[in-house]
Structure 1
Amino acid sequence: MPAAPSSPSSTDTHCPYCSLQCGMRLRPVEPAAPGEPAVAVEERPDFPVNQGALCGKGSSAAAVLSARARLGTPLVRDHRTGRLREASWPQALERATQGLAAAASRYGRDAVGVFGGGGLTNEKAYLLGKFARVVLRTANIDYNGRFCMSSAAAAQRRAFGLDRGLPFPLADVSRTGCLVLVGANPADTMPPAVRHLRELREAGGRLVVVDPRRTRTADLADLHLRPLPGTDLALALGLLHLVITEGRVDEEFVATRTTGYERARAAAMAHWPERVERLTGVPVAHMRRAVELFCDAPTGMVLTARGGEQHSKGVDTVGAWINLCLATGRAGRPRSGYGCLTGQGNGQGGREHGQKADQLPGYRAIDDPAARAHVAGVWGVAPDTLPGPGRSAYEILDGLGTDGGVRALLLMGSNPAVSAPHAGHIRERLRALDHLVVCDVVLSETAELADVVLPSAQWAEEDGTMTNLEGRVILRRAALSPPDGVRTDLAILRALAGRLGVGHGFPHTAQEAFDELRQASAGGQADYSGITYERVAAENGVFWPCPATAAGRPAHPGTPRLFLDRFATPDGRARFADVSHRPAAEEPDADYPLRLTTGRVLAQYQSGAQTRRTPALQRAAPGPFVELHPRLAARLGVADGDPLTVTSRRGRATAPAHVTPTIRPDTVFMPFHWPGAGSANNLTNPALDPVSRMPEFKVCAVRVEKTPPGGTA
């Protein structure tokens, strides 16, 4: 679609929130009052992902640019009062670097850690990884994207040899014959994507939703399967059992394009339908109907999201759903395949280029000698000076301030005081640090604990690329200059590096950083070397991999669809996962008889650090709640709105009851956007998947009680 005309003074850019990275236009306006935003958000119909549609978060995104919502000057902890006070940039940078250097000198380089965010641009993620490995020379860098799609990433690499959220454009979803949506609620989490579900139905396609709650997305489905939280793996195995016993396996595809089927078949045969019904609560008749819808359609897709992935067996769970695609020939073919609905804005690019503990730019393994040599050459350092793999996100946070753990932490664009599992424990660990430096746009709950807070420029105030859930690299453009007292993250990293003795290698502009990223990614799985700012702007994004071509040859077109000819494994075949059901890390018992699952609401985003500062969004969703079934409410003597206390083995949370028949009677739900007494992540279980190191956010054992008089909710 050709670009729609824009006025000479407007700026075409993208939303600062989820992984759709919806196109939008920023138009200059006269501020309503001093310190209010000088731009307004408008639709941008030319961007194919959203075609102009924006959710409430996107349409109100300019509100966070307000001076009342954001940080405007550096802050340092006053040693006398213990409070944060305003400081100059030289003072704050000196305090920051002194603390980082002191920890390295006293405890060793790995006692300094870096924690990034899935909302950082590719350029920031790349330079943050470079800063950790070249300036600090620490192994301990990871990011909150570990809490997003790491289980799906590991399962995709195991099955296909390559991980990209969607191996096809999002528009292909509306053209498939049957879509199975597992643990996803895009009607609340990425509303502009719902048009693809509606177009699917209008074209005669079928939609199956797997979710313990009847969400607004489930209301669109032809079939809604409601498994007990923590049993998605068993359900996928049960569906594969039926595919096998009903003779619906695509034998030719399995024989020519896959390996490992016999082991997967044996595992599935041990999960007969009646057993799976007992484990999941999903009736056998509903399982048979799901298989009928999926296999009778000419094409099919399975998309998973956090509901199926945020488990201590998340990799195996995703592997089981991929097995279903492989057995039915629904992978590596047009309008068919497995994909993951990435959550955070740059959850994909954020790990491709260096924030993840075990990866170097281009999706290279940090313990691969050839990868180390290539990246070290781009950085101008010796390969043996680069550290090896470090700890994963939760493991870094869990060890903060301990002997052998990280003692000084640089944190950029994340709020683990609210978003991490067992959040009360993580807040204690953050307080135990010798030194905490936070770079952020707002005074988040994590920034409130810092020794130094460095105010960062925002999405509308700087250029940079993002990689959306399709693997489409898109370009955000600056529409404003940052306020006085605020610096870009690139400028902050350059200043910190200089004070720590590395006065080169940290570019002034995002485009310079991207050109270096292109070199570092060249030849890797996530090859961006053929992508330029000019191409991204002209083509409405470019899909990776997109390698550079020789002079005089046509540019590589990018790769919207992966695996059509071969998978990215050494032999070109997809690999079945040998997986079996196992219980959640924590099952209910007499003391904690219910299951808690967590998620998001329409008007808030992630830890809420920005959306809770947007008046319209805060009015729409002002606080946490506990969703429970009427039968459970009657047993507890609870009416809608009554204060409830939810207790797990890790902590408690109090919030008003929301009584609804849309949830199972044996399960309660809480959104996780809020800090304080209603923080759902005070309860969640940090049990980790052995492969992805994903915590088990989506299920833990709890008890629920009516809050006694005098309690808070």
Structure 2
Amino acid sequence: MDAASVATVETHCPYCALQCGMGLRPAAGTGEGASGSVLEVVERTAFPVNRGALCGKGRTAPELLAPGARLTTPLVRDHTTGELVPAGWATALDRVAEGLRRTGARYGRDAVGVFGGGGLTNEKAYALGKFARVVLGTSQIDYNGRFCMSSAAAAQHRAFGLDRGLPFPLADVARTGCVLLVGSNLAETMPPALRYLTELKENGGRLIVVDPRRTRTAEQADLHLAPRPGTDLALALGLLHLVVAEGRTDEEFIAARTSGWPAARAAAMAHWPEQVERITGIPVPQLREAVRLFCDAPASMVLTARGPEQQAKGTDTVGAWINLCLATGRAGRPLSGYGALTGQGNGQGGREHGQKADQLPGYRRLDDPAARRHVAAVWGVEPETLPGPGRSAYELLDALGGEVRALLLMGSNPVVSAPRAAHVEERIRALDFLAVADVVRSETAELADVVLPVAQWAEETGTTTNLEGRVLLRRRAVAPPPGVRTDLEVLGGLARRLGHAKGFPADPEQVFEELRRASAGGPADYSGISYARIAAEDGVFWPCPAGSGASEAAQGASGAVAGASEAVAGAQTASGGPAGPGAHPGTPRLFLDRFATPDGRARFVPVTHRPADEETDAGYPVVLTTGRVLAQYQSGAQTRRVAALNAAAPGPFVELHPRLADRLGIADGEPVAVVSRRGRAVAPARVSAAIRPDTVFMPFHWPGEGRANTLTNPALDPVSGMPEFKVCAVRIERLDGPA
């Protein structure tokens, strides 16, 4: 154990976008905990987001540090046996560099792809995007965060000119009057955040939950609306129709701070309540009650998550909920607004700084000439050498083995997590060359030509950006095991082998300093943020330009500047710690004075309901929706290696209503097959009245025959590139034999 781990180290959980604060200290006893980990978790009660609370995943996270739970040596594919065998780092990196170089030389630079992860730190995401565009010269880079909140990001950008998960701190949620929570089960996906909804109700506020299942979160609601999956857009339009019909619009706010209302109003008025009831299955009296609760409160918020976002019309669906906020004056005001609950640990920062197909660091557009000039100057290259926008995540995966012949993949497991997963697995197998850098030997790593073992959260320092836009510092608490390197060391080693001796340092703080320069003046301006400042202030909210001067925080594609940093900040309070004289305070709350559009007004976008890409029929009469369970996380590559979490959630299941189970003759615990147009999954039945009779639910954390994403539909949102994970048509088949 190195000197850094002698005392308790303040850091953050490696899992979801809450990025809960925690402490790490040496395990008691022999120097290792019962699981073999050298560290144990200590509550960090002073950190404002979770105030010491942690879920089971966070409390057991050190178990993944144990050598038996993770990779500790590079592996290369033996061409004779076909097996992955141990190798030295020089051999492994040489083989990766040669595979990428050979493919690019033979088929062109865009034949080499890069696929990143929403759990990578800001430094690693930044370096990966730079590596793809400068070293490989490829446009083919995207990341699994595309499957997280890309629809919400696109909708926020259309309406507000800027996307940040929450434009206000989580603490504001407990102080508003009404929260309309759409498609989120916080009790299982972000348990420490549930306290904000509990405090909301203790303060006299009201909670409306929209979910086709009566989840543990929905149980807390004053009103639970259970729409048919894929009809959230009609629901939002129906509520806005009632707002207009009942005279509940805020005409003064609409006139002073928005544009485009007449067209959006006309679109909403075409969705009358009885029609919305037929589409969604929600009775008109419940629609009216939702409007009453939302509008009678002195302040209100709409918070969305993957439910409405992971649809082929996700951008329009989120846009409809934003329209509801704007029409009622519930945006750009204290304790009111729209926010998206980012899911992955660094889903926010990961796309801000360059591993998304169409973005450069600082949330700059890759097709903006001014943005290209700025970033190219920081990188020391000519702007014209930077490739243009590439394919979105699923499109990139679908192109593997065809136009994209080699892939460098860091921190993702698409064999389990991607839609139409069996097809994606086939495309990965068709590659000429695959290199995977990961902490564990995931299902995707099993298919690789080279597997590189990399350090994880407690073994390296770096920043992440949580769902509030709060930039945080994860600190190294222990050295990685011998034979393990950091992702930054991997990228530096590959860059040198590919002819770039400089520009890819292994020191994360050095990378962050370059990131600050690259982001300066962009919408996600980090130039006023430093490691020391983050440590002093429990995180800093972006945008935070250097000094107190102007920031181009809201430039549109035209390059028109929306003004100084106040254009997106409004009246602010300091983020909590000493920042030095003249320093920008950071931006906890966006849009209080103006929105980040060229004219400072929020934009209504007219949207109209349309059916899901795939509707039920006689052959596939039931709707499948997917999601997470409390004890597992994402593809399960990490959590399935923790004994306590596996004991709590040992495998997949199919949740179905008693009426559907009776009709099919299915008993609780009996194995059933779920069949879609893309494949077949088998798992035990879980009979529950908490789900709609026309809907079944499967969690997506497991590979093999219970892989839920074998079934899901890759139909893409035309704006965001988000696949339609949350709704597809299936049939249920009864099987014989034990569960």
Same fold (TM over 0.5): yes
- Tell me if the contact between 2:548 and 2:584 (Cα under 8 Å) persists in the aligned partners: no
Q: List aligned pairs for 1:80-159, cutoff 5 A.
A: 80-159=80-159
Out of 418, 422, 425, the position equivalent to 1:424 is: 422
Q: What are the superposed Cα offsets for residues 84-129 of structure 1, whole Å, 9 maximum, x if unpaired?
A: 0000001100111111111101100000000000000000000000
Q: Give the match for residue 703 of structure 2.
A: 675
Q: State the secondary structure of the residue aligned to 2:67.
A: coil
Q: Give the match for residue 595 of structure 2.
A: 567
Please state how far the C-alpha of 1:540 moved relative to its aligned partner.
0.2
Q: List aligned pairs for 1:192-231, cutoff 5 A.
A: 192-231=192-231
- Tell me if the contact between 2:33 and 2:40 (Cα under 8 Å) persists in the aligned partners: no
Q: State the secondary structure of the residue aligned to 1:142.
A: strand
Is 1:172 aligned to 2:172, yes or no?
yes
Distance in 2, matches of 1:387 and 1:519, equals 21
Q: State the secondary structure of the residue aligned to 2:200.
A: helix
Q: Give the match for residue 575 of structure 2.
A: none
Q: List aligned pairs for 1:336-355, cutoff 5 A.
A: 336-355=336-355
The amino acid across from 2:618 in the alignment is: A
Q: Give the match for residue 471 of structure 2.
A: 473
Q: List aligned pairs for 1:315-334, cutoff 5 A.
A: 315-334=315-334
- Tell me if the contact between 2:35 and 2:63 (Cα under 8 Å) persists in the aligned partners: no
The amino acid across from 2:346 in the alignment is: N
Q: What are the superposed Cα offsets for residues 427-473 of structure 1, whole Å, 9 maximum, x if unpaired?
A: 00000000000000000000000000000001000000000000000
Q: Give the match for residue 160 of structure 1.
A: 160
Q: List aligned pairs for 1:407-486, cutoff 5 A.
A: 407-486=405-484
Unaligned runs of 5+ in 1: 1-5
Q: State the secondary structure of the residue aligned to 2:68.
A: coil
Distance in 2, matches of 1:19 and 1:187, equals 14
Q: What are the superposed Cα offsets for residues 537-593 of structure 1, whole Å, 9 maximum, x if unpaired?
A: 010000000000179951111000000000000000000111000000000001000
The amino acid across from 1:610 in the alignment is: Q
Please state how far the C-alpha of 1:37 moved relative to its aligned partner.
1.4
Please state how far the C-alpha of 1:7 moved relative to its aligned partner.
10
- Cα distance change of structure 1 residues 35 and 243 upon mapping to structure 2, 3 Å threshold: closer
- Tell me if the contact between 1:439 and 1:454 (Cα under 8 Å) persists in the aligned partners: yes
The amino acid across from 1:317 in the alignment is: T
Q: What are the superposed Cα offsets for residues 342-361 of structure 1, whole Å, 9 maximum, x if unpaired?
A: 00000000000001000000
Q: Give the match for residue 528 of structure 1.
A: 526
Q: What are the superposed Cα offsets for residues 371-429 of structure 1, whole Å, 9 maximum, x if unpaired?
A: 00000000000000000000000000001001xx2100000000000000000000000
Is 1:609 aligned to 2:644, yes or no?
no
Distance in 2, matches of 1:88 and 1:431, equals 24
Q: Give the match for residue 566 of structure 2.
A: none
Unaligned runs of 5+ in 2: 550-579
Q: State the secondary structure of the residue aligned to 2:348.
A: helix
Please state how far the C-alpha of 1:704 moved relative to its aligned partner.
0.2
Distance in 1, matches of 2:270 and 2:649, equals 45
Please state how far the C-alpha of 1:646 moved relative to its aligned partner.
0.3
Is 1:54 aligned to 2:54, yes or no?
yes
Is 1:645 aligned to 2:673, yes or no?
yes
Please state how far the C-alpha of 1:31 moved relative to its aligned partner.
3.6
Q: Give the match for residue 240 of structure 2.
A: 240
Q: State the secondary structure of the residue aligned to 1:68.
A: helix
Distance in 1, matches of 2:105 and 2:335, equals 55
Please state how far the C-alpha of 1:507 moved relative to its aligned partner.
1.3
Out of 498, 501, 513, the position equivalent to 2:499 is: 501
Distance in 1, matches of 2:79 and 2:352, equals 39
The amino acid across from 2:438 in the alignment is: D
Please state how far the C-alpha of 1:708 moved relative to its aligned partner.
3.5
Distance in 1, matches of 2:428 and 2:506, equals 31
Q: Give the match for residue 18 of structure 1.
A: 16
- Cα distance change of structure 1 residues 139 and 74 upon mapping to structure 2, 3 Å threshold: same
The amino acid across from 1:471 in the alignment is: G
- Tell me if the contact between 1:189 and 1:601 (Cα under 8 Å) persists in the aligned partners: yes
Q: List aligned pairs for 1:385-396, cutoff 5 A.
A: 385-396=385-396
Please state how far the C-alpha of 1:624 moved relative to its aligned partner.
0.1
Is 1:558 aligned to 2:586, yes or no?
yes
Q: List aligned pairs for 1:357-372, cutoff 5 A.
A: 357-372=357-372
- Tell me if the contact between 1:627 and 1:657 (Cα under 8 Å) persists in the aligned partners: yes
Distance in 2, matches of 1:31 and 1:316, equals 53
Q: State the secondary structure of the residue aligned to 2:626.
A: strand
Q: Give the match for residue 510 of structure 2.
A: 512
- Identity, in percent, stands at 74
Q: Give the match for residue 545 of structure 1.
A: 543
- Tell me if the contact between 1:464 and 1:511 (Cα under 8 Å) persists in the aligned partners: yes
Q: State the secondary structure of the residue aligned to 2:321.
A: helix
- Tell me if the contact between 2:183 and 2:305 (Cα under 8 Å) persists in the aligned partners: yes
Q: Give the match for residue 3 of structure 1.
A: none
Please state how far the C-alpha of 1:35 moved relative to its aligned partner.
9.0
- Tell me if the contact between 1:35 and 1:68 (Cα under 8 Å) persists in the aligned partners: no
* CA RMSD, Structure 1 to Structure 2 (Å): 1.3
Please state how far the C-alpha of 1:370 moved relative to its aligned partner.
0.4
Please state how far the C-alpha of 1:508 moved relative to its aligned partner.
2.2
Which shifted more, 550-559 or 157-166? 550-559
- Tell me if the contact between 1:421 and 1:686 (Cα under 8 Å) persists in the aligned partners: yes
The amino acid across from 1:211 in the alignment is: D
